[in-house]
Each structure stands twice: as C-alpha cells, then as structure tokens.
Amino acid sequence: MLNESMIIEIKEPSEPVVTCANCQACCCRLEVMLITDTGVPEEYISVDEGGVQTLRRLEGGWCSALDRETMMCTIYENRPLICREFEMGSYECIVERKAHM
C-alpha cells in the first residue's frame, strides 16, 4: 500500500515566457504583404507581375529590413500594418517560435 507521504510531486518544467525579448525575430521570415501605405522605403519592397507589394526577403526568408546583428526592425516606425498587427503570444507567434527556436 502506497503511503501518501511517499508520493513525490513531479512538476512540469515551466515554459519560457513568450516575449520578443527572448525571441530571434522568428516572425520576420514570414511573407508580409503591403496592404496600406505606412512609408516602407522602396528598397525593402518587392513588386510582382500583378503589382502586389510585399516586403523584400533575403536568403532564408529573412525580411530585408531586419538588422541581422541586433535582430531588430530597422523601419519600426514605418513597418507594415501586418507587422504591427502580429501579436506577441498569439497562435501564429507560438507556431513561428516553435519552428525556428
């Protein structure tokens, strides 16, 4: 018979807190369409044959506006609407963190 005092509680290892501060800009490899004009400089914009504008991406899918040393957005004040609305801690954010960290 198992004595209750002998039961050792096993705690789940805690998940790391989801914050951009401990991330590696995982969401900055996604394709981002420019659906409004937020003043993204031309050098960071790609235009396809149909005239659709997206953020220009580099090898590995990285956004061309990301500073790869600091992993910070270099056009933060002018970042596209989609970047502004991408929510830290959202389902999409967790998916990207799991895929790239």
Q: Which residues bind ligand SF4 (CB under 6 A)?
A: 18, 20, 23, 25-28, 32, 55, 63, 65-66, 73, 75, 79, 83, 86, 88, 93, 96-97
The conformation of residue 63, written as its DSSP 8-state character, comes to B
CA distances from 62 to 5, 32, 66, 100 (A): 54, 11, 7, 12
Minimum Å gap between C-beta 50 and ligand SF4 is 21
Q: Which residues on neighbouring strands pair with residue 57, listed in sequence order?
A: 63
Minimum Å gap between C-beta 24 and ligand SF4 is 7
> What stretches of 11-79 adopt beta strand conformation (E)?
45-47, 53-55, 66-67, 72-73
Minimum Å gap between C-beta 78 and ligand SF4 is 8
The conformation of residue 41, written as its DSSP 8-state character, comes to -
Nearer to ligand SF4, 1 or 99 (CB): 99
Nearer to ligand SF4, 49 or 82 (CB): 82
Q: Which amino acid is at 3?
A: N
Minimum Å gap between C-beta 83 and ligand SF4 is 3
